[in-house]
């Protein structure tokens, strides 16, 4: 049978190569189900679909998603989308102490924000939800563990944690068999049931797979697969006092969901033999279907100037180095969204960096460039004066004002122009005036002429200063025949072109000038604590003078403030008629040496 949809040849990578091969071999055309009806394992049996790939994004709900997760989301959901397959959102919630509903909610929200969903058309056109919780499979996982015991592939070990560690051996030395390794199936079953029934204290024993204590791969030296832990679970409450280990749970989750390609980061490469071992033995026992899922590893995203470790992110939030999980300086997706980063920007970024098997560092500026590129297309232009001083046009009539016309988007004339008001007193940027001009300075200085963008050519005459010598007001005269858009506009040639807002019409607003959270490209490198590398100037809050129309900016609306960069109305703290803006990214990279 042929595929439903031809793959879209987007940025090819080795995983696409594997999928192309599997589909060409018609690998998923038949799925043989070996379990018995009524099994938990059967819940997806009806969904097995010929020639469709299934991937999954399996976050543990123990923190907020970060930019690294975006790479995995675009990869897994993107492959499913391109190949007409299905990607599951699965919460890998097997570790109750650190997990919570708050994290489940925020993760779901961010996956949707990036443009992906988990409600799909299943076979026969029926709707199916592909949202899963590992904890929903605890019953089956327990059964699978008993199945391994029954076939002599698992045993209950009562060695202490220390004994187990010592007997595991080292990279150069084989491990030693546990004295409990050869207890009978009946004994093992009885002990494992006692573990489940709460007859033994936490940590007193574990269930281990029985593989090979002399294996060259330490992960194959009888790994623990179940432990006793009296912990309340956000989903199953107090039903269980034993929980499966991640390495045991994860392959089972994949198998039960008939995942075809289980894609994870490189640190799991050494776990692949156990993944395959488990699949083989569970399939043998008739507990899971053939063909079993296969694990493939890719290089995780390492990005300069950020930390992408949940532990470090939690520390930044809990120790109040940032204001919250969605602080716009954090590399969480929630923070990036508040910062004004866009899903399209992340898509461009993940396409650009690709997927490989070799670990590398990606420059943060590549991510910023992607955001710039997308915002350059999407964001309308507005005028904002961020460091205001006054410019008085001495020969302009008092109390008068007039309309000037500014294009909303230079690349999209169809978006039209808006009206901005010009009057006698304007706000301009402090840096657009120099009493003693530096060489090559073409903006305002006494005697020089510049164009007020979308307005007139003016000639600078003088300035006023405060007692400390700071310029407070600049004076100029305008040339009435030079208005932009009139035939006289070309009559005088000037080199400088500055932006402005009319003081009477301006809207004053708070702007948070965000910069990178860390000043070192590799926070915590060497012997430093990563906290020592926090950039003390990662945010400066200013009062800016904005063109009047910005008063009505909606939360989460992005703009290019001409000559400055991209800014977004904060989605959380903007009020109607009183937006607060976050700087998303400057127009040019200021970090480049
Ligand atoms: P931990 O396992 O320490 O809690 P984690 O970052 O691995 O943290 P998970 O919730 O397990 O978090 O991640 C979900 C998925 O996202 C995994 O499949 C993981 O491989 C992937 N992922 C996590 N970090 C990155 C990264 N930096 N680059 C690419 N993929 C990542
Ligand atoms: Mg993980």
CA dihedral 99, 101, 103, 104 (to 10 degrees): 110
> Residue 96's pLDDT is what?
85
- For 500-510, the pLDDT digits (tens) are 999 999 999 99
Instruction: State in words which class domain 381-505 has.
Output: mainly beta
> Residue 591's pLDDT is what?
73
Ligand nearest to the CA of 313: 1
Which residue ranges make up each domain of the chain? 14-136+246-300, 139-244, 310-378+509-586, 381-505
* Band (99; pLDDT cuts 50, 70, 90): confident
Name which of 189, 187, 181 is nearest 157 in CA terms: 181
Task: Decide whether any atom of ligand 1 lies within 6 Å of the 233 Cβ.
Answer: no
> Residue 43's pLDDT is what?
46
What does the mean pLDDT of the chain come to? 93
Is the predicted pLDDT of residue 6 greater than 80, yes or no? no
Tokens of 194: 């006692």
Task: Decide whether any atom of ligand 1 lies within 6 Å of the 72 Cβ.
Answer: yes
Task: Decide whether any atom of ligand 1 lies within 6 Å of the 371 Cβ.
Answer: no
| Domain covering 310-378+509-586 in this structure, CATH number | 2.40.240.10
CA distance 390 to 337: 35
Task: Decide whether any atom of ligand 1 lies within 6 Å of the 76 Cβ.
Answer: no
CA distance 463 to 151: 91
Q: How many Å lie between the centroid of ligand 2 and the Cα of residue 59? A: 7
Backbone angles phi, psi at 458, to 5 degrees: -125, 155
> Residue 484's pLDDT is what?
95
- DSSP letter at 480 equals T
Check: CB of residue 266 under 8 Å from CB of residue 300. Answer: yes
What's domain 14-136+246-300's superfamily in CATH?
HUPs (3.40.50.620)
The best mutation among 94, 265, 336, 356 to test binding of ligand 1, ranked by most ligand atoms within 8 Å of the C-beta, falls on 265
Task: Decide whether any atom of ligand 1 lies within 6 Å of the 372 Cβ.
Answer: no
Task: Decide whether any atom of ligand 1 lies within 6 Å of the 59 Cβ.
Answer: yes
> Residue 120's pLDDT is what?
87
Task: Decide whether any atom of ligand 1 lies within 6 Å of the 312 Cβ.
Answer: no
Ligand nearest to the CA of 92: 1
Ligand nearest to the CA of 266: 1
Task: Decide whether any atom of ligand 1 lies within 6 Å of the 90 Cβ.
Answer: no
pTM of the model as a whole? 0.92
Q: How many Å lie between the centroid of ligand 2 and the Cα of residue 514? A: 30
Ligand nearest to the CA of 60: 1
Q: Where are the beta strands (DSSP E) in 125-232?
A: 127-129, 131-133, 154-157, 206-209, 224-228
3-state secondary structure of 380: strand
Check: CB of residue 76 under 8 Å from CB of residue 54. Answer: no
Ligand nearest to the CA of 310: 1
Catalytic residue among 27, 60, 312, 390: 60
Is the predicted pLDDT of residue 326 greater than 50, yes or no? yes
User: Which long-range contacts does 414-420 make (Cβ < 8 Å, 24+ apart)?
Assistant: 415/380, 418/549, 420/383, 420/454, 420/501, 420/502, 420/505, 420/547, 420/548, 420/549
Is the predicted pLDDT of residue 45 greater than 50, yes or no? no
3-state secondary structure of 507: strand
Q: Please identify which residue in the block is written with the tokens 């279907």.
A: 289
Query: Nearest 5 degrees, angle CA 110-CA 111-CA 112?
Result: 90
CA-closest residue to ligand 1 atom 22: 69
Task: Decide whether any atom of ligand 1 lies within 6 Å of the 35 Cβ.
Answer: no
> Residue 52's pLDDT is what?
83
User: Which long-range contacts does 39-43 make (Cβ < 8 Å, 24+ apart)?
Assistant: 39/140, 39/143, 39/287, 40/136, 40/137, 40/139, 40/140, 40/143, 40/256, 41/140, 41/255, 41/256, 41/287, 41/288, 41/289, 43/256
- For 434-471, the pLDDT digits (tens) are 999 999 999 999 999 999 999 999 999 999 999 999 99
Q: How many Å lie between the centroid of ligand 2 and the Cα of residue 275? A: 15
CA dist 448 → 309, 388, 476 (Å): 54, 20, 10
**Helices 14-24, 67-82: inter-axial angle, 10-degree rounding:** 30
| 139-244 is classed CATH 3.90.800.10 | yes
Termini Cα distance of the chain: 56
> Residue 587's pLDDT is what?
96
CA distance 579 to 553: 6
- Closest ligand 1 atom number to CA of residue 62: 4
Task: Decide whether any atom of ligand 1 lies within 6 Å of the 104 Cβ.
Answer: no
CA distance 48 to 271: 26
Mean pLDDT throughout 355-368?
94
CA distance 110 to 77: 13
Task: Decide whether any atom of ligand 1 lies within 6 Å of the 56 Cβ.
Answer: no
Backbone angles phi, psi at 121, to 5 degrees: -85, 120
Catalytic residue among 71, 310, 337, 418: 310
CA-closest residue to ligand 1 atom 27: 68
Mean pLDDT throughout 346-351?
97
Is the predicted pLDDT of residue 42 greater than 80, yes or no? no
> Residue 13's pLDDT is what?
86
> Residue 31's pLDDT is what?
56
Q: How many Å lie between the centroid of ligand 1 and the Cα of residue 69? A: 6
% of residues, the chain, pLDDT over 70:
94
Residues 6+ apart with CB under 8 A from 434: 441, 443, 444, 445
Neighbours of 244 (CB within 10 A): 26
Whether residue 5 lies in the annotated active site = no
Ligand nearest to the CA of 308: 1
Task: Decide whether any atom of ligand 1 lies within 6 Å of the 250 Cβ.
Answer: no
CA-closest residue to ligand 1 atom 13: 59
% of residues, the chain, pLDDT over 90:
87
Task: Decide whether any atom of ligand 1 lies within 6 Å of the 60 Cβ.
Answer: yes
Ramachandran region, residue 386 (left: φ > 0; alpha: ψ -120 to 50; beta: rest) = alpha
- For 269-286, the pLDDT digits (tens) are 999 999 999 999 999 999
Q: How many Å lie between the centroid of ligand 1 and the Cα of residue 563? A: 38
CA dist 314 → 326, 535, 556 (Å): 12, 18, 25
Whether residue 310 lies in the annotated active site = yes
> Residue 190's pLDDT is what?
98
Whether residue 56 lies in the annotated active site = no
Q: How many Å lie between the centroid of ligand 2 and the Cα of residue 220? A: 19
3-state secondary structure of 415: helix
CA-closest residue to ligand 1 atom 3: 310
Task: Decide whether any atom of ligand 1 lies within 6 Å of the 61 Cβ.
Answer: no
- DSSP letter at 573 equals T
The best mutation among 15, 56, 60, 296 to test binding of ligand 1, ranked by most ligand atoms within 8 Å of the C-beta, falls on 60
> Residue 65's pLDDT is what?
97
Mean pLDDT throughout 373-393?
98
> Residue 8's pLDDT is what?
41
Residues 6+ apart with CB under 8 A from 211: 220, 221, 222, 223, 274, 277
Q: Which residue has the higher pLDDT, 45 or 531?
A: 531
Check: CB of residue 567 under 8 Å from CB of residue 581. Answer: yes
Is the predicted pLDDT of residue 12 greater than 90, yes or no? no
Mean pLDDT throughout 484-504?
95
Q: Which residue has the higher pLDDT, 498 or 490?
A: 498
- For 224-237, the pLDDT digits (tens) are 999 999 999 989 99
Burial category of 397 from C-beta neighbours within 10 Å (exposed 0-12, middle 13-18, buried 19 and up): exposed
CA dist 34 → 26, 121, 249, 286, 431 (Å): 20, 25, 19, 5, 75
CA dihedral 108, 109, 112, 114 (to 10 degrees): -110
Neighbours of 309 (CB within 10 A): 14
Q: How many Å lie between the centroid of ligand 1 and the Cα of residue 59? A: 7
* Band (492; pLDDT cuts 50, 70, 90): very high
Mean pLDDT throughout 162-181?
97
Q: How many Å lie between the centroid of ligand 2 and the Cα of residue 71? A: 14
Mean pLDDT throughout 391-408?
97
- Asked if the domains 14-136+246-300 and 381-505 are classified in one and the same CATH topology, the answer is no
Buried b (16+ CB within 10 A) or exposed e, 49-69: bebbbbbbbbbbbbbbbbbbb
């Amino acid at each position: 049978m042929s595929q439903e949809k031809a793959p879209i040849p987007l940025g090819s990578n080795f995983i696409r190569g594997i999928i192309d091969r599997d589909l060409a071999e018609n690998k998923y055309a038949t799925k043989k189900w070996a379990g018995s009806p009524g099994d938990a394992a059967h819940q997806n049996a009806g969904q097995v679909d010929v020639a469709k790939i299934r991937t999954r994004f399996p976050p543990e709900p123990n923190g907020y998603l970060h930019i690294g997760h975006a790479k995995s989301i675009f990869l897994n959901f993107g492959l499913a989308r391109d190949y007409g397959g299905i990607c599951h959102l699965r919460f890998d919630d097997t570790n109750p102490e650190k997990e919570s509903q708050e994290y489940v909610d925020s993760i779901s929200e961010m996956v949707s924000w990036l443009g992906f969903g988990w409600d799909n058309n299943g076979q026969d056109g029926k709707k199916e939800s592909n949202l899963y919780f590992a904890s929903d499979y605890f019953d089956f996982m327990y059964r699978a563990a008993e199945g391994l015991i029954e076939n002599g592939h698992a045993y209950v070990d009562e060695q202490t944690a220390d004994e187990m560690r010592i007997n595991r051996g080292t990279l150069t030395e084989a491990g030693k068999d546990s004295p409990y390794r050869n207890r009978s199936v009946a004994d093992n079953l009885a002990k494992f049931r006692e573990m489940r029934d709460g007859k033994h204290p936490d940590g007193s024993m574990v269930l281990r797979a029985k593989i090979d204590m002399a294996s060259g791969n330490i992960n194959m030296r009888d790994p623990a697969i179940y432990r006793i832990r009296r912990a309340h679970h956000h989903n199953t409450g107090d039903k269980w006092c034993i929980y499966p280990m991640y390495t045991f749970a994860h392959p089972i989750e994949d198998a039960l969901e008939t995942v075809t390609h289980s894609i994870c980061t490189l640190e799991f490469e050494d776990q692949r033999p156990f993944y395959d071992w488990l699949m083989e033995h569970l399939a043998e026992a008739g507990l899971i279907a053939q063909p079993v899922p296969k694990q493939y590893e890719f290089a995780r995203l390492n990005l300069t100037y950020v930390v992408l470790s949940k532990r470090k992110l939690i520390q930044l939030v809990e120790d109040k180095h940032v204001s919250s999980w969605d602080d716009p300086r954090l590399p969480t997706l929630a923070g990036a969204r508040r910062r004004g980063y866009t899903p399209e920007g992340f898509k461009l970024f993940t396409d650009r960096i690709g997927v490989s098997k070799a670990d590398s560092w990606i420059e943060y500026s590549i991510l910023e460039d992607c955001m710039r590129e997308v915002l350059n297309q999407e964001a309308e232009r507005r005028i904002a004066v961020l460091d205001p001083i006054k410019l008085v046009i001495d020969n302009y009539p008092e109390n008068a004002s007039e309309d000037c016309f500014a294009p909303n988007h230079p690349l999209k004339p169809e978006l039209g122009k808006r009206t901005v008001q010009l009057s006698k007193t304007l706000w301009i940027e402090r840096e657009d005036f120099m009493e003693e001009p530096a060489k090559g300075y073409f903006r305002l200085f006494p005697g020089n002429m510049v164009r007020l963008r979308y307005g007139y050519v003016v000639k600078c005459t003088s300035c006023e200063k405060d007692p400390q010598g700071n310029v407070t007001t600049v004076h100029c005269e305008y040339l009435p025949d030079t208005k932009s858009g009139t035939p006289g506009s070309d009559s005088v040639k000037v080199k400088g072109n500055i932006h402005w807002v009319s003081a009477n019409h301006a809207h004053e607003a708070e702007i948070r000038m965000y910069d990178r959270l860390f000043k070192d490209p590799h926070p915590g490198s060497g012997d430093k604590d990563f906290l020592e590398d926090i950039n003390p100037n990662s945010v400066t809050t200013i009062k800016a003078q904005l063109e009047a129309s910005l008063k009505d900016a909606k939360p989460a609306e992005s703009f290019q403030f001409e000559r400055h960069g991209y800014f977004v109305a904060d989605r959380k703290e903007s009020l109607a008629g009183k937006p607060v803006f976050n700087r998303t990214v400057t127009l040019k990279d200021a970090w480049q040496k």
